[in-house]
A = this chain, B = another copy of it.
């Protein structure tokens, strides 16, 4: 006798849910059956919102943050931001934690990663060319390098400092070492981020 299992659409849903970060097999099953028990009034709109987000959300061509064609970029399109400060981060997800710390009101630039030879990611894979172009054509006076304080983040910061030496007028700073060692931006609390931003030092 074949083993009884969920109907195929439920199994397919469990397989997809398991791929999500932080969702194990047990959680995926619990979420899937919960969704089925809620019925189509829950899963229909949920699916629509998921599809719409995937369809409409793009990477801002300037800063790399999440944006939409219709709504633009909440950062680059803002009129009241400091035009002279640029904060370089690894990922678009690093921007909101910094923003919530309240210690920075300039512009951002997501590199889309950091130099990581083991993963085959060199400077060419990152948005460094775009960064140089922004600095060349903009009026930035300071670039704050806000990368993770682990080995790869440090290496990327040092590489950026060398590259940015071509702009002798530009002040290049980095986050203070108030950041916990080895920690990424995403998991830091707001106070730590604020202190690190306020205590930034020359590079």
Contacts and interface: CB of A to CB of B under 8 A. Distances in A.
How many copies of this chain does one complex carry?
2
Interface in A36-72: 36-37, 39-40, 42-57, 66-68, 71
A85 B95 CA distance: 60
Interface stretch (A19-27, A114-122, A144-152, A167-175): A19-27
Interface residues of A, number: 63
A28 to B, nearest CB: 10
A181 interface: no
A185 interface: no
B57 A10 contact: yes
Nearest to A74: B4
Contact of A81 (B1, B7, B13, B91): B1
Interface of A: 1-10, 12-13, 16, 19-23, 27, 30-37, 39-40, 42-57, 66-68, 71, 74-75, 78, 80-81, 91-93, 95-96, 99-100, 105, 186
